[in-house]
Amino acid sequence: MKHAAKWLIVGMAAALLLAPLFAPYGEEEQNRSRAQEAPSWQRVPGTEPARIFLLGTDEYGRDIFSRFLYGGRLSVAGGITATLLALSFGLAVGGAAGLGGGWLDATLMRTSELFLSLPWLYLLLALRAILPLRLSPSGAFWMMVTVIALAGWARPARLIRGMVLSAQDRPYVRMAQAMGAGKGYIFRQHILPQLRGVIWAQALVIFPQFVLADMALSFLGLGVAEPTASWGGMLAGLRHFAVLESHWGRVAPVVLMIVFFVLLQMPASDEPQGTQPRMPETIQ
């Protein structure tokens, strides 16, 4: 069951990342004559153009299913990039603080406290506020990745610092030190292998959170803007009056997104019972 979920999620992420292969229509392709059309799974005779829209079309006649895939590509790619960035930065900072000690440790940890002293969404928006408002689609993508990674590096960094500190106290590490091993060698040979588990666990926690952050920014109008497809933008579009007169295909993407997040949660809930459950940053 859990195993199946893992493959399902990998498959879904891959399908989203390869959106251009699977999407029946282009991201911004409009069929104005067939706007707001309900999902149909067979060609409607006499309609022009004679096309099938799996989840119907939006108010510009854009295929909702294609936009769901393209939007998902943006969110998943953004989530993966931001996760990689935040974890490498966290690893660099946590490693440096743990190994360096002294003033370096103190400075880095005080800095991380500055980042941790704001609630997650507020930190995200505050970081967003110091960047230019209007950006090109690719500029917006990188802006979001940067903002999210900047907002998210501090917790992994502190965790990794703690691990590095405790790893340095292990007898065999002490032994290696006594035999004259350098800090770089010890980090690579003895400490890094111990960090692998934490980093994986952190990645599992961080990734869904980052995808959500990406969606939230676009939803609030501070991320990727129309006509580029984004999950957050599609959600924002659902708050339009026009939606009330339309069809169930408009809400179907939300249900698919929920499925995506429920699947994402499954590998993370593999942890043995009795350990501290993870805490979403929203309440921190």
Partner 1 sequence: MIWRRVLQTMLLLLAVSAAWFALLAASPGDYFDLQRLDPRVSAATVDKLRAEYGLTKPWWVRYGDWLVSVAHGEMGVSIVYNEPVADLLLPRCANTLLLTLTSTALAWGLALPAGLWAAVRRGGGIDHVWNVAAGLLLAIPELLLGTLLVYWAAGSARWPAGGMRSAQDGGLLDILRHLALPAGVLAAGLFPIVFRHFRNALAEASGLPFVRAARAVGVSPPRIWLHSVLRVAANPMISLLGLSIGGILSSSLLAEVIFGWPGLGPLFVEAVMTKDTYLVLAPVMFSAVALAVGNLLADLLLMWNDPRIRAAG
Q: CB-wise, 192 or 220, nearer to partner 1?
A: 220
C-beta separation of 140 from 225 below 8 A = yes
- How far is 267 from 18, CA to CA, in rounded Å? 23
**DSSP at 187:** I
Give the shortest CB-258-to-partner 1 separation in angstroms.
Answer: 5
**Which regions of the chain does DSSP assign to beta strands (E)?**
none
Terminal-residue alpha carbon distance, the chain: 32
Q: Which two tokens stand for residue 22?
A: 């699977």
Q: CB-wise, 42 or 275, nearer to partner 1?
A: 275
Hey, what's the torsion of the CAs at 204, 209, 210, 214, to 10 degrees? 150
Q: CB-wise, 101 or 280, nearer to partner 1?
A: 280
Q: CB-wise, 114 or 175, nearer to partner 1?
A: 114
Q: CB-wise, 166 or 269, nearer to partner 1?
A: 269
Rounded (5°) CA angle 51-56-57: 90
The crossing angle, in degrees rounded to 10, of helices 192-219 and 137-152 is 130
Give the shortest CB-113-to-partner 1 separation in angstroms.
Answer: 6
Give the shortest CB-153-to-partner 1 separation in angstroms.
Answer: 16
Nearby residues of 77 by Cβ (< 8 Å), 6 or more positions away? 17, 141
Give the shortest CB-185-to-partner 1 separation in angstroms.
Answer: 36
Q: CB-wise, 42 or 117, nearer to partner 1?
A: 117
- How far is 235 from 228, CA to CA, in rounded Å? 13
CA 103 to chain centroid, in Å, comes to: 33
Give the shortest CB-72-to-partner 1 separation in angstroms.
Answer: 13
- How far is 11 from 192, CA to CA, in rounded Å? 30
Residues that bind partner 1 (CB under 8 A): 113-114, 117-119, 121-122, 125-126, 128-133, 212, 215-216, 219-222, 232, 235, 238-239, 243-244, 250-251, 254-255, 257-258, 261-262, 264-265, 269, 273-277, 279-280, 282-284
Give the position of tokens 């934490």.
198
Q: CB-wise, 26 or 139, nearer to partner 1?
A: 139
Give the shortest CB-247-to-partner 1 separation in angstroms.
Answer: 12
Give the shortest CB-159-to-partner 1 separation in angstroms.
Answer: 17
Q: CB-wise, 42 or 276, nearer to partner 1?
A: 276
- How far is 218 from 232, CA to CA, in rounded Å? 5
- How far is 88 from 214, CA to CA, in rounded Å? 19
Give the shortest CB-248-to-partner 1 separation in angstroms.
Answer: 10
